[in-house]
Amino acid sequence: MSGRPNTITREYASRHGDEFLRAPWCDMAVTYWARHSGTAAAVLPAGDRAYTPWHAADFQKLGTWHTGTTARVNAAKPGDIVFFDWGESNSIGAIDHVGVVEKVLGGGRVQTIEGNTGDACKRRVRGSGVIAGYGRPAYKEVDDMPDYVSVGVSTPQELPPNTWVTVEWGTEYADAEHHHWDKGGSSLIIGSCRYSLTASVQIKGLPKGTEIQARTVEVEEAGDRRDGGPIAEYTASDGDTFLLYSLPADTVGDGFRVRFQVIHYGTATGQITAGSAKAFAWPT
């Protein structure tokens, strides 16, 4: 992106007036990036900014301003908002320019992404001599640890032919986020989330060679909609049959719950006598 007016200045001017269409746009770029990345509350604590001294002062008022000494610059982090004074002071009132720290290089240097540098968006390397300081936005921490669910079968279930049977999980081993017990014994995962699931059941009473299938199913809480997941096929063996179903990755929407089902296409009625399921869920 280069020149002006451009996408960044047009968007800013649409909110604040046409005088910004051709104005210096380095801080308008920071405003644009923050708004479009969902970080505006952290990056723009006092709202949109086009005037860099005011933006730096916002961080100073919050106590998250760090003066641009070499030692402080070495302690910067990616995502910090870094302000420059070409006169090489650390005075907020003298700030000329702003960018976003992309990488800390050591020796009082940072790699940045900046708007309105040569009237374009570019990557730059800057030293502490021209860095007046930086503000540290209060970004929300991202918790990437998934919810964990571990349940088991506690009571045998009849498995009639040609009928999808939803497995009931009467034993709960782990479920800190209440995916399982909140709405009953068959639910494993609450949407919306990404998840992975492994389920195993022991089936008795089916003749050798009987065709068996298993699947996940997403059930709407407030309606009758049911969306079947991937189907896996198995064949009954001599004696009890042990079925292992694995779904490495899938998603479930808000208002839906994931359950596990089994069906067979024989003539006898079988019985699910034991089983367990384990799932990881990443809420979205």
Residue 100 belongs to domain with CATH number:
3.90.1720
**258 and 178 housed in the same domain:** yes
Domain limit, last residue, from 135, 167, 182:
135
pLDDT of residue 22: 95
Q: How far apart are CA 142 and CA 80, in angstroms?
A: 17
**156 and 278 housed in the same domain:** yes
Helix (H) / strand (E) element for 247: namely strand 241-252
Domain limit, last residue, from 105, 135, 165:
135
Residue 1 falls inside a structural domain: no
Q: Phi/psi of residue 145, each to 5°?
A: -80, 130
**277 and 177 housed in the same domain:** yes
Split the chain (284 residues) into runs of 10 and give each run's mean pLDDT: 86 96 96 93 96 97 94 93 96 97 95 94 96 94 81 95 96 85 75 93 96 95 84 95 94 91 96 96 86
**128 and 156 housed in the same domain:** no
Residue 232 falls inside a structural domain: yes
Q: How far apart are CA 101 and CA 83, in angstroms?
A: 10
pLDDT of residue 143: 62
**131 and 151 housed in the same domain:** no
Residues in the chain: 284
Q: Which domain holds residue 163?
A: 147-283
Q: How far apart are CA 246 and CA 233, in angstroms?
A: 12
Residue 93 falls inside a structural domain: yes
Residue 228 falls inside a structural domain: yes
Q: Phi/psi of residue 40, each to 5°?
A: -60, -40
Q: How far apart are CA 137 and CA 139, in angstroms?
A: 6
Please state the pTM of the whole predicted model.
0.54
Residue 141 falls inside a structural domain: no
**158 and 105 housed in the same domain:** no
> Would you give the DSSP letter of residue 267?
S
**94 and 189 housed in the same domain:** no
- Distances 245 to 38, 159, 171, 264 between C-alpha atoms, Å: 38, 17, 19, 15
Q: Phi/psi of residue 87, each to 5°?
A: -85, 0
Q: How far apart are CA 120 and CA 264, in angstroms?
A: 64
Residue 238 falls inside a structural domain: yes
Helix (H) / strand (E) element for 197: namely strand 193-204
Q: How far apart are CA 116 and CA 123, in angstroms?
A: 11
Which CATH number goes with the domain that contains 275? Answer: 2.60.120.40
pLDDT of residue 125: 97
Residue 140 falls inside a structural domain: no
**73 and 30 housed in the same domain:** yes
Q: Bridge-partner residues for 175, per DSSP?
A: 149
Task: Provide the domain count of the chain.
Answer: 2
3-state helix, strand, coil in the chain (%, to 5): 20, 45, 40
**151 and 245 housed in the same domain:** yes
**119 and 204 housed in the same domain:** no
**130 and 211 housed in the same domain:** no
CB atoms within 10 A of CB 165: 17
